[in-house]
Structure 1
């Protein structure tokens, strides 16, 4: 009985150590977005290929478009100087 308890304790400790040590999934902007009524802009941008996006849009009255965050990236902010 004691061996079973120790084995269970070791297994649970290993599970906790694995979940604490792993890093969260990195955010990634995929190149295609599913857009349409009820989804908004830029929409559901979780498609790596245009065909994947078209398959998800099929029969739903939705369409696929290029992800603007992927296409244009982070634009540098420019400071506007004015002479008054």
Structure 2
């Protein structure tokens, strides 16, 4: 019985630690090309729209605007490109 009483708090602590490490998925984890921008959002805004039309429909009636996501636009520039190897065929006759 004593063994069970000491095991339960340990298992509860492990379960609590596992649950605390789980982060919910959010739209902010993805870089979509269009952002809702305005005074209530920080820069670059709420970037969760795949098309300009989606963004426009979402901000309709609010004091917001749609703008392009700079993280999406400049993503390719931030990643250095690997130089391509060029092969030349040499014929040995």
- 1:16-65 C-alpha deviation (Å, 9 max, x unpaired): xxxxxxxx86x421000000011121110000000000011111110000
Task: Choose the corresponding residue for 1:45, options 47, 50, 56.
Answer: 47
Q: CA deviation at 1:76?
A: 5.4
**How many residues align structurally?**
54
Q: Distance in 2 between matches of 1:36 and 1:48?
A: 18
* 1:18 aligned residue: none
Task: Give the unaligned 5+ runs of structure 1.
Answer: 1-23, 78-84
* 1:61 aligned residue: 63
Under a length normalisation based on structure 1, what TM-score does the superposition of the two structures give? 0.55
* 1:19 aligned residue: none
- Pairing of 1:5-84 with structure 2 (within 5 A): 27-73=29-75, 75=78
What is the root-mean-square deviation in Å for CA atoms of aligned residues?
2.4
Q: Distance in 2 between matches of 1:76 and 1:47?
A: 23
Structure showing greater Rg: 2
Q: Distance in 2 between matches of 1:76 and 1:66?
A: 19
